[in-house]
Structure 1
Amino acid sequence: MKLNRRISTCLWFITAAAGLLLTIFVSISYGAKELTLQTVWSAVIQYDPALTSHQIVHELRLPRVLGAAVTGMAFAVAGAIMQGVTRNPLADSGILGVNAGSAFAVALCFAFMPGMGYSELILFSFIGAALTTLFIVLLGSVAKGGLTSIRLTIAGAVIAAILHSLSTGVAIYFELSQDLAFWYAGGVAGVTWEHLRVLTPIVLIVIVCSIIMGRPITLMAMGDETAVNLGIHTNRIRIFGLIAAVTLAGSSVAVAGSIGFVGLVVPHIARRLLGVDYRVLIPFSALLGAILLVWADFASRMVNPPQEFAIGAMVAMVGVPFFLYLARQEGREL
């Protein structure tokens, strides 16, 4: 039985990895400019900067698609970690207000420190996400009975609404509406190789660290009492887990804007397919998150070319009904 489970898990990973590679190739092959598959393959394998078609693939489509894949991984893993360490099935960096905190920090950077480099922008985005997370946890904990899943979700929604309003006010006052529209809607059209050189190592390192924490998070998802009895320092793992989730969400918002629901939907799908072991769930969620966001970006480009639909709205079309379904199930349990 255990061997069959391992074989099934390996098959799902192989399928997801192959699906991601196929998704990436399809996404870079189609766009406003029609290119043959042979041209696309040649541009990826043997890039010639003298050819316009190769420049389109290498400088525009490829970093955009890879940016969608990396940020999809980050948002999905951030959601999986949050759901595990908080035992909240509705947890997601967008729903809990973490993305809003990052976006507000980005708005302040645009207003008071224009021309800031991308590395510094990631740092401030992380700080905004961290402070927001801390405030939301404190706000949800002050009520009688302590922090619960519903209180955490409500506190996150309230803080997210406030921060979005403040970001809008900053944008209007400093005439940044055009610049910040991208961050509100979410998108990867502006991703460059420079962005990827900074973002990719951060995301991969944090994901690897999260996989190392997989066993403690799995035990915590079953209950703090069970985890403590098995020798897990729950508070330490919870803090490290939230730091990992905030780092992933904050750095991704600095690149792709505030994209919600990826971290909500993907971990639940991964859990249905592979179970609750976070040593498996985290890397599998990363693959599924990458596939979801690459397809969402592809759909946003192909709905009405050459115009583009907001990638955040594409994901929300799937995420909102899923969130309402989960909220209804959570309400029944309460």
Structure 2
Amino acid sequence: MCLLSLWVGAKGIPFTATWDLLWHNDGSSEAVIIHDLRIPRTLLGVLAGAALGVGGALMQALTRNPLADPGLLGINMGSSSAVVVAISFLGIHSLTGYLWFALAGAGIASFLVYSLGTAGRGSATPERLVLAGAAVTAVLYAFIQGVLLLNPDTFDEFRFWDVGSLASRRMDVVVQVAPFIVLGLLLALSQARALNALSLGDQAGQALGAHVGRTRALVAVAVALLCGSATAAAGPIAFVGLAVPYAARIFTGPDQRWVLPYSLMLAPILLLAADILGRVLGGVQEIEVGIVTAFLGAPLFVLLCRRRKLARL
């Protein structure tokens, strides 16, 4: 998929020429296309896909709900709210400018959801986290719609980020989000055994040596790092975090020590395939990857649900 992503595009470049230019940048227009446009786009597809796939698997394990996705913690709405604030109130109009706002918005929203979920006497149970996420998402959605309705110029700019795309992302965007995604992946993989223990219930997990509160907090941080970074760089992309972990469990079963690595590998394949398909179908006017994943992911997920029972977590 990486090779196809480097080869396929609006400008046709023979595969042999693409391979040669990949290793020998001669400064030609074709080399500029490959090195300045397609390589960053492909790397971002790999990073964002891995982040969304693992983030979705973590959310489904954290909430013990096979239909959960990263949006349940308010991450997408947190990023979107911060981008709207950056565009409308601070006059920031470049992707590299409001990328940091999107990252900060995702982190603040996740912290707020987790704080609400742990407020009071009870612990951060999956049900309380989902309810807190739904409440925060509703409030942030209302804020975004209010600002966009009052400021049409903000809407015109925001809608291009909100659709979800890998196009026009330069290498500086990849460099900025890569450390957060790598850190999130390492943190996620380190919690696989603890998530396996918690899948049996809080009391059984504690009996097996898992620290319930600490595990949920670390998983929430990992989800914020992964999905916040991917959303900040590429915009909200639907169904990757929902469908990929489910497909991974078909191969691996419920063991998170295998679900997380499989999700890490399968999600970039899906995202790059959707991006390539958008280039082929759209021609010069490409179809954004967020639109393609929605069209591909929805029927695929329905088919998987009809053919197999949902894997228990």
What is the TM-score normalised by the length of structure 2? 0.86
Q: 2:156 aligns with which of 167, 178, 187?
A: 178
- Following TM superposition, by how much is the alpha carbon of 1:203 offset from its aligned partner in structure 2, in angstroms? 0.9
Q: One-letter code of the match for 2:19?
A: W
Report Cα offsets for 1:269-294 as digits up to 9, x if no partner: 11111222222221221111111111
Aligned 8 A contact 1:91 1:153 in 2? no
1:257 aligns with 2:235: yes
Aligned 8 A contact 1:94 1:259 in 2? no
Partners of 1:260 and 1:100 lie apart in 2 by 13
How does 1:1-334 map onto structure 2 within 5 Å?
A: 23-49=1-27, 51-94=28-71, 96-115=73-92, 121-136=98-113, 156=133, 159-174=136-151, 175-321=153-299, 322=301
Report Cα offsets for 1:43-84 as digits up to 9, x if no partner: 2111222x1111111111111121111111111111111111
1:201 aligned counterpart, secondary structure: helix
Partners of 1:139 and 1:317 lie apart in 2 by 34
Q: One-letter code of the match for 1:255?
A: A
Aligned 8 A contact 1:94 1:258 in 2? no
Partners of 1:120 and 1:307 lie apart in 2 by 25
1:7 paired residue number: none
2:277 aligned counterpart, secondary structure: helix
Partners of 2:157 and 2:30 lie apart in 1 by 29
Q: One-letter code of the match for 2:179?
A: P
- Following TM superposition, by how much is the alpha carbon of 1:168 offset from its aligned partner in structure 2, in angstroms? 3.5
Report Cα offsets for 1:160-192 as digits up to 9, x if no partner: 454334223323434212221122211011211
Partners of 1:61 and 1:252 lie apart in 2 by 18
Mark the CA change 1:270 to 1:203 in structure 2 (over 3 Å): closer, same or farther. Answer: same
Report Cα offsets for 1:18-37 as digits up to 9, x if no partner: xxxxx111122111111000
Report Cα offsets for 1:96-115 as digits up to 9, x if no partner: 53212111111112223334
Partners of 1:33 and 1:256 lie apart in 2 by 22
Partners of 1:133 and 1:107 lie apart in 2 by 18
Aligned 8 A contact 1:74 1:252 in 2? yes
What is the TM-score normalised by the length of structure 1? 0.81
Report Cα offsets for 1:192-245 as digits up to 9, x if no partner: 110111112221222122112211112112322221001110110100100110
Identity among equivalent positions (%) equals 33
Mark the CA change 1:265 to 1:211 in structure 2 (over 3 Å): closer, same or farther. Answer: same
Mark the CA change 1:147 to 1:74 in structure 2 (over 3 Å): closer, same or farther. Answer: same
Partners of 1:159 and 1:270 lie apart in 2 by 29
Partners of 2:216 and 2:123 lie apart in 1 by 16
Partners of 1:117 and 1:182 lie apart in 2 by 12
Mark the CA change 1:308 to 1:38 in structure 2 (over 3 Å): closer, same or farther. Answer: same
Q: One-letter code of the match for 2:146?
A: G
- Following TM superposition, by how much is the alpha carbon of 1:155 offset from its aligned partner in structure 2, in angstroms? 5.9
Q: One-letter code of the match for 1:67?
A: L
- Following TM superposition, by how much is the alpha carbon of 1:153 offset from its aligned partner in structure 2, in angstroms? 5.3
More moved, 81-90 vs 285-294:
81-90
Q: One-letter code of the match for 2:156?
A: Q
- Following TM superposition, by how much is the alpha carbon of 1:264 offset from its aligned partner in structure 2, in angstroms? 0.9
- Following TM superposition, by how much is the alpha carbon of 1:119 offset from its aligned partner in structure 2, in angstroms? 7.2
Q: One-letter code of the match for 2:247?
A: I
Aligned 8 A contact 1:275 1:281 in 2? yes
